[in-house]
Every structure is written in structure tokens, then in C-alpha cells.
A = this chain, B = another copy of it.
Amino acid sequence: MPPQVVEAMQRPMVPHRGPEFSEFYIALIERLKRLHRTEAEVLLWPGSGSAGWEIAAVNLLEPGDVVVAGVTGDFGDRFALVASTFGADVRRVELEWGNAIVPERLDAALRAAPGAKAVLLTHNETSTAVTNPLAELTAVAQEHGALVLVDAVSSAGGIPIEFDAWDVDYLFSGSQKAWMCPPGVAIVVAGRRAWERTRETGTHRFFWDMDRNLEMTKKGWTPTTPPISLLYALDAATAMIEEEGLEAVFDRHRRLGDMTRAGLGQLGLRLLADDAYASNTVTAFFPPDGVEARTIIDRMASEFGITLAGGQAHLASSLIRIGHMGWVDDEDIESCLTALNDVLESV
């Protein structure tokens, strides 16, 4: 985390029903709208990013609703699981890990699911380091009259999102990824059709109720006690993003993604993701034949203090992932690649 963000968490607390908080909160919400390129509503909740799956399920879906889920990895799988847990009739489009869901594939799935109420998408699938083509997929879903519900946990703030221009309906993220903050705030953007849908659904909801939250947000209040120190962090982090410039932040992530992939290629390592859809916030690669992923991850940590992640689900022990989102620059990637080279030369 940037020092400015750590420092922001030490600002003195203010009463969350007072005018000072309201002014702060409204400005934060407005800035988040700009960063999502939208005039739609932005709502915050105390919660991890994965609260976004549940907020979608309880506000925008009803038991029995036909829903098409693009499952491109572990997070897509969980979004589908949450929807089916809440009673939706989920039709999964299962992609081999490392591949994106392409518009033609989504179109075919929607033709096979007439009357589908919604499409569940993972913008950037963290488990496979793939970025799904959100603009094109959204266009396909809209043609079929299905709402587009997007998990943008590892893309928002790092990879371009044009909420209004692409006409997305619902998109969420968490404070802890490219937003450069500690975890604990769920960020939701909801457009016109999503609000219409909330009026149709008769589900039980209170804590996650989008309408209750919006009513309070308009006054500069929150429906429950807000996690103030984390909101201060988010304020500082989003101010840094605006200062660098949102396009410059996206460019930096693009450059870091390119550097990482090129560097791993030069080390002779095989990447998981289809190059046409490779993520600019995370890269996944396989260790050389005969070397355990865990060995490399442990040596990177113990010898260089660099934290890499393993894989998830069926690739848990065979994959290595490098995060390059948020407060990361070229030097960080260079150091990581140099360290990795050292480790590889001696395994």
C-alpha cells in the first residue's frame, strides 16, 4: 500500500451522521463515479469484494430466474455458485482455464437460454490471469435483453472500464486490489436497468438492500456504521489515481503486463492465459518441468521477500501467479524477474 493510504487511516474519526462526514462521503462517491466513467449510482458497503456476488443475487435475481454464467476460472465459478445458492437456474458456460469467453460463445449460450434475466461475468479472472472482453460481451447480453452483472474485483482501477459507454448494468469490486487499499469495502456501480430490476424482485433483503443504501447515500450517509478508516484510505488512494490520471494508470498497468509476460517468456516459462486475453493486473505461469511451484514461491519469499501466489482449485499446486496491480511500477517487475531468474538458475 502507498504510504499516503496508510497515513490516511490515521485521520481522526468523525461522527458518521454529521455534516463533515456527509461532505466527505459525497465527494468520495463522485470521484468513484468518475473512475468508473459513469453517471450511474455508486454504492459502498463494509464487506469484501465477494459481497458483490451476494448483492447482485439478493437485489437483481429471483429464485427460478434463468441466468447465464461465463465461468472462466475459480472466481467465475463462485459467482455462478452464489447465484444458484440463491435459487437461480444457472446455465454455465465453462471455458478451459486460460481462455476468455468470447462474444460468439456467449451469444450461443443466450440463444440456448431464451428469457435469460442476466449474464454473470468476471471481467478479470484472477485465478487464470485472463481478461474477458467486457465491452463486446455486454453488447451481446444487451441484444438478448439480459442484465450484465460484472465481477470487476481485480480489474477496476487498473484495467479500462467504461460503465456508461459500454452500457453495463451492475459492476462491483473491493478496496484491496487495484484500488490499493486494505480489504473491507465493497464498491458497487448500478445502472438504470438494475434499479428497475430491484423494483421487480421480491427477495428478502436488508443489509445488502441497494435501495436502502441509495436512499442514505443521496444524503451523504451510509445505511450502517461505515468503516471510516477504510473510507479514508479509499479517499487517499483514489485521489492518487486521479492525480496520476486514470488513463496513465491504465497505461502503466498495460506496460507492467507486457513487461511481465515478455520477461517470463525470456525465462522460458509457459503462461496459462491465451495471449489475446492476457490480464494486465495479474500473470499466471507454470514452473519449469520437474520443479514444484511451491519451491519457487517459497524461495522467492524467503530469499527476496517477494510474495507470489500459487494457483487455485485444480491448478492450486501447479501454477504461480504474479500480481501487478495497484501500487506497482516497472522497477518492482524488474526486481521480481531478476529474483525469479536467480531462483530458476539454482533449482
Binding site for B on A (CB under 8 A): 1, 6, 9-10, 13, 15, 46-51, 53-54, 57, 63, 81-82, 85-87, 174, 176, 182-184, 204-207, 224-230, 307, 309
Contact A309 B15, beta carbon cutoff 8 Å: yes
- Given A48-B227, A183-B228, A227-B230, A204:B85 Cβ within 8 A: yes
User: Which residue in B10, B15, B47, B204 is a CB contact (below 8 Å) of A46?
Assistant: B47
Most buried by B among A1, A205, A207: A207
User: Which residue in B13, B51, B63 is a CB contact (below 8 Å) of A1?
Assistant: B13
User: Which residue in B86, B205, B228 is a CB contact (below 8 Å) of A206?
Assistant: B86
In the complex, which residue of chain B has the Cβ closest to the Cβ of A81? B206
A49 to B47, CA, bound (A): 12
- Given A86-B206, A87-B204, A50:B307 Cβ within 8 A: no
Contact B51 A207, beta carbon cutoff 8 Å: yes
A82 to B206, CA, bound (A): 7
Besides A9-B182, A53-B206, 5 new A-B residue pairs in contact (Cβ under 8 A), listed by A number: A46-B51, A51-B207, A85-B206, A183-B226, A183-B228
Contact B183 A50, beta carbon cutoff 8 Å: no
17 residue pairs bridging A and B, Cβ less than 8 Å apart: A9-B10, A10-B10, A46-B47, A46-B51, A48-B224, A49-B224, A50-B225, A51-B207, A51-B224, A54-B206, A54-B207, A57-B206, A85-B206, A86-B206, A183-B226, A184-B184, A227-B230
> Measured between C-beta atoms, what is the minimum distance from A316 to chain B in Å?
10
Contact A184 B15, beta carbon cutoff 8 Å: no
Q: Chain B residues with Cβ under 8 A from A85's Cβ?
A: 204-206
In the complex, which residue of chain B has the Cβ closest to the Cβ of A233? B229
In the complex, which residue of chain B has the Cβ closest to the Cβ of A183? B225
Q: Chain B residues with Cβ under 8 A from A47's Cβ?
A: 46-47, 207, 224
Each complex incorporates copies of this chain amounting to: 2
Q: Chain B residues with Cβ under 8 A from A224's Cβ?
A: 47-51
A225 to B186, CA, bound (A): 11
Contact B227 A227, beta carbon cutoff 8 Å: yes
A228 to B82, CA, bound (A): 24
In the complex, which residue of chain B has the Cβ closest to the Cβ of A58? B204
> Measured between C-beta atoms, what is the minimum distance from A129 to chain B in Å?
17
Contact A10 B6, beta carbon cutoff 8 Å: yes
Contact B86 A228, beta carbon cutoff 8 Å: no
> Measured between C-beta atoms, what is the minimum distance from A236 to chain B in Å?
13
Q: Chain B residues with Cβ under 8 A from A51's Cβ?
A: 46, 207, 224
Most buried by B among A15, A204, A309: A204
Q: Chain B residues with Cβ under 8 A from A6's Cβ?
A: 9-10
Q: Chain B residues with Cβ under 8 A from A230's Cβ?
A: 182, 184, 227, 229-230
Most buried by B among A10, A46, A82: A46
Contact A225 B48, beta carbon cutoff 8 Å: yes
> Measured between C-beta atoms, what is the minimum distance from A212 to chain B in Å?
10
